Amino acid sequence: MAEVGPQAGTLIYSGVGNIAGSILSSTLARSLVSHNGTLGHVMARVQEFEVEWPKDGILVMHSDGLQSRWDLSRYPGLLSRQPALIAGVLLRDFRRERDDASVLVLKGRHLFSPIQ
């Protein structure tokens, strides 16, 4: 679960299971904590975290069908592109072939403005 508060500059996040999360910006690359378990079935712990949400923040959340060692800095200019394109590049280049994969990309400037 993730809730972005762009006015307050915060991200409230709670992760359980095989979902990984990261916040990226021009000055930040931060991984978010996810505890072991299966949501709605076996959860040893649910913990809420509040972290800074930068004005140019990008949230990337993905299932374990994506390799965890991706690095978007190897793709010059990609972070300035549409969220769907960023997600597509991650799926294309870092998907585990023997697993299903889900990727969500959210960009701060797209929270309240239409995609152009």
Give the CA dihedral 105, 21, 3, 45, nearest 10 degrees: 150
71 within domain boundaries: yes
Is the pLDDT assigned to residue 116 strictly greater than 60?
no
Segment 99-109, tens digit of pLDDT: 889 999 998 65
Nearest CA-CA partner of 79 in 29, 11, 113, 17: 29
115 within domain boundaries: no
The whole domain housing 27 covers 2-110
Q: Are 20 and 69 in contact (CB under 8 A)?
A: no
Q: How many domains does the chain have?
A: 1
Strand 29-32's sheet: what is its strand order? 29-32, 19-24, 58-63, 103-107
90 within domain boundaries: yes
Is the pLDDT assigned to residue 80 strictly greater than 80?
yes
H or E, element range at 92? helix 83-94
| CA 58 remoteness from chain centre | 7
- Token readout for 12 is 């409230």
Q: For residue 87, count other CB atoms closer than 10 A to its CB.
A: 19
Residues in contact with 72: Cβ distance below 8 Å, sequence separation at least 6, in sequence order: 24, 78, 79, 86, 89, 90
25 within domain boundaries: yes
* Residue 100: predicted pLDDT: 87
82 within domain boundaries: yes
Global model pTM greater than 0.85: no
116 within domain boundaries: no
Segment 19-63, tens digit of pLDDT: 889 999 888 888 887 766 565 666 666 678 888 888 889 999 998
Q: What's the one-letter identity of residue 11?
A: L
State the CATH number of the domain containing residue 51: 3.60.40.10
* Residue 41: predicted pLDDT: 63
